[in-house]
Chains A and B, each alone.
Chain A
C-alpha cells in the first residue's frame, strides 16, 4: 500500500456492525411502522372508552380501560418511533458501505490498490449510541406496560373517586401517575440518543466523501 492520505487502509469488507445494518434496516423499519399503527389503533380504542365513560350510559370501568389504553399508546408509539429512527441510522450506515464499495470499484478500474478510510471515531460510537437509544425505548416500553397494568388493575370506582380507594388501589394509581409524569421524558431521551447516532453517521459520510476526493487527487498526482 502506498498512500500518504491520513488513515488510509487497504480495502476490507463489512464488519459485524455493518453486516447487521445491512440485514436489519428494512425489518426494523417494518417493525417500527407496525408498532406505530398498533399505537394508533389502541389510541382509537382509548378515545372510544373515555368517550363512553362521559356518555349518559357511561360506567367507571370504561374510564379504567381508557386510562390503561392511554399508557399502552405511549409505550407502543415511542417504541415504534425509536425503531424507525434506528432504521434510518442503519440505512445511513448502508450509504457509507456503498460509498466505500464504489470507491473500491473506481480505484480498481484505474488499476490502483483499493484503499478505504479507517473507521473514524464517529463511526465507532454510532452503533453504541443507537443501541443505547433503542434499549432506552425498550425499557420505557416495558415500564409503560407495567404502568398500564397498574392502572388497569385499579377498582373502577377508585378512579372516579380517589377517597373511596383502598390502600392497594391508591398505590397503583400513584405508581401510574408518577410514571406517567417521567416516562415521556425517558422516551424523548431515547429518541435524542438515536438522533445523535444519525448525526454521527452523517459526519462519517462527510469524512468518507472527503477521503474519496483526497484519493482521486493522489492518484492523479
Chain B
C-alpha cells in the first residue's frame, strides 16, 4: 500500500526502509570531520601558546622575539575561527543530516502503521 504524505512538500512518496551505511554512518562521518577541524585548531593554538610563552621573558634576540609575536598573533587570528568552523560543521552538517534521517524513518514507520494497523484491527475484531 502506498501512503501519500500531506506534510512538508506534500509530495506523494512511498517510504522505503531507511538502512545502509550512508544512513547509519553519514551524520557521524560529518561529525567526525567537525571534531577533527576543531582539534586541528586546538593544536595550532598550542603552537601559538608556546610562542607566547617564549616572550615572557624574551630570552632570545629581538628578531626571534618578533617572530614569536608574529606566530602568536597570526595563529590566534585564524585558529580561533577555524575552531568555530569545526563546531559549525557539527551544527550545520551532522545534526541536520541526523534529523533528516529521523524524518525519513518516521515516514517509514507511518507507512508500516498505515499498512499494518488495519490488519491488526481486523485480527482483533475476529478474535
Which B residues are in CB contact (< 8 Å) with A179? 49
Contact with B along A169-194 (1 / 0, CB 8 A): 01101110111111011101101110
A residues engaging B (CB < 8 A)? 110, 122, 162, 167, 170-171, 173-175, 177-182, 184-186, 188-189, 191-193, 195-196, 198-200, 202-203, 205-206, 209-210, 212-214, 216-217, 219-220
Is there an interface contact between A188 and B83, defined as CB atoms closer than 8 Å? yes
Is there an interface contact between A188 and B38, defined as CB atoms closer than 8 Å? yes
A12 to B91, CA, bound (A): 33
**Given A199-B95, A220-B117, A206 contacting B39 (CB threshold 8 A):** no
Closest 6 CB pairs of A and B: A174-B56, A220-B116, A185-B42, A202-B98, A185-B45, A213-B109
Interface centre among B44, B57, B99 (most CB of A within 10 A): B57
Interface flag for B64 (CB, 8 Å) = no
Contact with A along B13-51 (1 / 0, CB 8 A): 000011100011001100110110011011111101111
A66 to B106, CA, bound (A): 52
Which B residues are in CB contact (< 8 Å) with A196? 28, 31-32, 34-35, 90, 94
* Interface residue tally for chain B (C-beta within 8 Å): 58
Q: Is the interface of B mostly helix, strand, loop or mixed?
A: helix
Which residue of A175, A193, A199, A217 is within 8 Å of B115 (Cβ)?
A217
Which residue of A162, A170, A181, A220 is within 8 Å of B49 (Cβ)?
A181
Which A residues are in CB contact (< 8 Å) with B51? 181
* 24 A–B contacts, CB within 8 A, in A order: A162-B56, A170-B56, A177-B55, A178-B52, A180-B52, A185-B44, A188-B86, A189-B42, A192-B87, A192-B90, A195-B87, A195-B91, A196-B35, A198-B95, A199-B27, A199-B98, A200-B28, A206-B23, A209-B109, A212-B109, A213-B111, A217-B115, A219-B116, A220-B112
CB distance from A195 to the nearest CB of B (A): 4
